[in-house]
Amino acid sequence: MCLPSTADEDEGETKQEALIRECREELGITISVGDVFMDVVHEYPDITVHLTLFHAKITDGTIQLLEHNAVAWITPDEIPHYAFCPADKEINERIATEYKK
């Protein structure tokens, strides 16, 4: 599983700590965080976003929709069938390249 992190740098939280916290708060799961999968910087007309994605593994719990409406596990071949934000384009291309059967 590769997940982005939203660290609260003002609170001294690392990106890895933020990812663990976000998964617990929003999905009700505990994860272990591995190496960085990739970093992406994307410029929208009104904001620039910096996404850091990590390899991660669920170590405890079952995903719950505490903050979201839906979750789907998809294969690289299924990526074109879903709508993603423009910032996800580079991420999806790398996933499709590296994890395609």
Give per-residue pLDDT as tens, 22-60: 999 999 999 999 999 999 999 999 999 999 999 999 999
Give per-residue pLDDT as tens, 28-38: 999 999 999 99
Note if the pTM is more than 0.95. no
Give Cβ neighbours of residue 86 (< 8 Å, ≥ 6 apart): 42, 44
The tokens of 71 are what?
A: 């979750």
The tokens of 46 are what?
A: 């009104």
